[in-house]
Chains A and B, each alone.
Chain A
Amino acid sequence: MRIEFDEPKCVAAGQCAMVAPDVFDQREEDGVAIVLDPAPEPSQQDAVREAAAVCPAAAIRLVEP
């Protein structure tokens, strides 16, 4: 799985960081998402799928093999 993050769309709601804290974080100054691991381990992938699903701005796209 590979994460494609469309930063200009990010509204910094932080839902990704809440659902998958090992893969996403928020930038200190404004809360914009940071992808900590663009190719997450299988153990993280369910949480990453949920993060993509709850992102209100649809800024997280997953490329799955």
Chain B
Amino acid sequence: MSDDAPYYPMTREPSCPFAPAAAVRTMGPVGKVTIWDGSTPWFITRHADQRALLNDARLSIDEKRAGYPHMTPGRAAAAPHIPAVITNTDPPEHTRLRRTVNGPFMVKRVEALRPRIQEIIDSLVDDLLAGPHPTDLVQTIGLPVPTLVITQILGVPYADHKFFQEASHRAISHDADPSDAAAAGRGIGEYLGALLTKKIDEPADDVLSEMGARVEAGEMTFAEAVTMGGAILIAGHETSASMISLGTLALLHNPDQLALLRENSDDPKFVANATEEILRYLTIVHSGIRRIAVEDIELHGTVIRAGDGVVFELAGANYDPAEFPSPDRLDLRRAARQHHAFGYGAHQCLGQSLARVELQVAYGTLYRRIPTLALAVPFEEVEFAMEGVAYGLKSLPVTW
């Protein structure tokens, strides 16, 4: 590691926990970072550059290529064994694969789930208000909401949530030992494989059954269906859980914005826009999205050579003052729709529409139903969890 290529992922400033690490903004637009294996991929932080490059066919997401800047040692070890799925293929193969798994995440289908998601959140808030306080919002609301939603959509028994919450955290955490991460990944695979077999025999109205039907029709392999099921399960809960808990902390830290949101909770347009700004402001995925150059690319006078790794820091784009003036200000009225919190390009988050509905319902309900919601500890004492692919909170003690 050198001063020219700081270690990545970077550590946020404890005094300013929501903003990207200072180095993200002080580096030039085409920087370098040092990652866990000692390699030094390029580091792209500006909104306009990310938009241009993340749709550029000279960059590939094929993690089987030598020199790919893997996220973790576990991921590097697993990469050669992962079948072709949406997370490791480029267009046009990617386009075909994505269209086969996209159905359940269509805007209309997730909108149809809104009443059910509202019921889930209302019922959790009922339990919260009936229980003791202070309480931990991560355990009572943040984690259960996305876990209940994604298990219902996928068709996974909620009773097993402790197993896969724990296994998925171990499978993707930065501080996980590679053999432990691999064991956790295998555990999820075996679990979902058994469940998929059951769904093929006795289909229900859920995504695993839908994928089971595609396996039977020869449109995808059994291994692909298990890999996709695992990706949906993992991606679908830790991220949304973090957004609910961290979003609440950010709002409690910006009481004028919290008041504004509470007053406008019955205006779906306001809540939708506020959700985009909270997504931008928090940009919880802080491990970068990663590609490898397959041809030389010139950018701002620098040449990225074929075979070089490239890391895109999403918070850099979302705090780029050229795109978002005064980016450190949480401003729920700001036009923030073009943020990169879900990434950008053909690989932009598959579950983004579902995440939006979950977050809109959570942010539109929590502060309206608990208008006196307050932190039960000083802000400085709230414990962050920084080691995951996305950052979050270990706990959020609240009272009312």
Give A57 to B102 CA distance when docked, in angstroms.
15
Contact A30 B99 (CB under 8 A): yes
Complex Cα distance A56/B86, Å? 15
Q: Is the CB of B99 within 8 A of A26?
A: no
**Residue B103, interface by CB 8 Å:** yes
B95 & A8 in contact (Cβ 8 Å cutoff): yes
Distance to closest chain B CB from A8 (angstroms): 7
Interface residues of chain A, those whose CB is within 8 Å of chain B, are: 8-15, 17-19, 26, 29-32, 50, 53-54, 56-58
B326 to A: closest C-beta gap in Å: 21
Is there an interface contact between A17 and B346, defined as CB atoms closer than 8 Å? no
A53-B338, A57-B345 known; A30-B102 Cβ under 8 A: yes
Residues of B within 8 A of A18 (CB): 107, 353, 356
Q: Which single member of A26, A56, A58 contacts B106 (CB below 8 Å)?
A: A26
Q: A8-B92, A53-B338, A57-B346 are in contact. Are A32 and B99 (CB under 8 A)?
A: yes
Q: Contact at B107–A14, with CB atoms within 8 Å? A: yes
B179 proximal to A (CB < 8 A): no
Q: How far is the CA of A53 from the CA of B323 in the complex (A)?
A: 13
Chain A binding site: helix, strand, loop or mixed by DSSP?
Answer: loop
B263 shortest CB reach to chain A, Å: 24
Among A26, A54, A56, contact of B107 (Cβ-Cβ < 8 Å)? A26
The minimal Cβ–Cβ distance linking B51 to chain A, given in whole angstroms, is: 8
Contact across chains for B98 and A12 when beta carbons are under 8 A apart: yes
Asked if A11 and B107 sit within 8 Å, CB to CB, the answer is no
Contact of A56 with B348 in the complex, beta carbons under 8 Å: yes
If A18-B353, A26-B106, A29-B103 touch, whether A11 touches B337 (CB-CB below 8 Å) is no
Residues of A within 8 A of B356 (CB): 18
Q: Mark B251-285, 1 if CB is under 8 A from A, else 0.
A: 00000000000000000000000000000000000
Contacts A11-B348, A12-B102, A18-B353; is A54 near B337 (CB within 8 Å)? yes
Size of the chain B interface, CB-CB below 8 angstroms = 26
Is the Cβ of B55 less than 8 Å from the Cβ of A58?
A: yes
Convert B320-354 into 0s and 1s, putting 1 for each residue whose CB lies closer than 8 angstroms to a CB of A: 00000000000000000110001111111000110
Where the two chains meet, the residues of B that have a C-beta atom closer than 8 Å to any C-beta of A are 55, 91-92, 94-95, 98-100, 102-103, 105-108, 337-338, 342-348, 352-353, 356
Are the CB atoms of B92 and A12 closer together than 8 Å?
no
Complex Cα distance A14/B355, Å?
Answer: 13
In the complex, which residues of chain A have a beta carbon less than 8 angstroms from the beta carbon of B347?
11
8 Å CB contact of A31 from B92, B102, B343, B345: B102
6 pairs, A vs B, C-beta closer than 8 Å: A11-B346, A12-B99, A56-B55, A56-B342, A57-B346, A58-B55
Contacts of A15 in B (CB 8 A): 352
A31 and B262 alpha carbons, distance in the complex (Å): 34
How far does the alpha carbon of A8 sit from the alpha carbon of B96 in the complex, in Å? Answer: 9
- Choose from A19, A29, A50, A57 the contact partner of B55 (Cβ within 8 Å): A57
B215 vs chain A, min Cβ distance (A): 17
A13 CA to B352 CA, complexed, in Å: 8
Q: Tell me which residues across on chain B come within 8 A of A14, comparing CB atoms.
A: 105-107, 353
Is A31 touching B337 in the complex (CB atoms < 8 A)? Answer: no
Question: Can you name 12 extra interface pairs (CB under 8 A) apart from A13-B348, A14-B353, A26-B107?
Answer: A8-B95, A11-B348, A12-B98, A14-B106, A18-B107, A18-B353, A29-B103, A30-B99, A31-B103, A50-B337, A53-B337, A57-B345
Once bound together, how far apart are the Cα atoms of A12 and B349, in whole Å? 11
* A11 surroundings in chain B (CB, below 8 A): 94-95, 98, 102, 346-348
Q: With CB as the reference atom, state the residue of chain B lying closest to A26.
A: B106
Complex Cα distance, B99 from A32, in Å, reads 7
Least Cβ–Cβ distance between A44 and chain B, in angstroms: 16
Taking the closest CB of chain A, its distance from the CB of B224, in whole angstroms, is 16
Within the assembled complex, what's the spacing in Å between the Cα atoms of A12 and B106?
8
Asked whether A54 and B103 contact (CB < 8 A) given A11-B346, A13-B348, the answer is no
Contact between chains at B344 and A31 (CB < 8 Å)? no
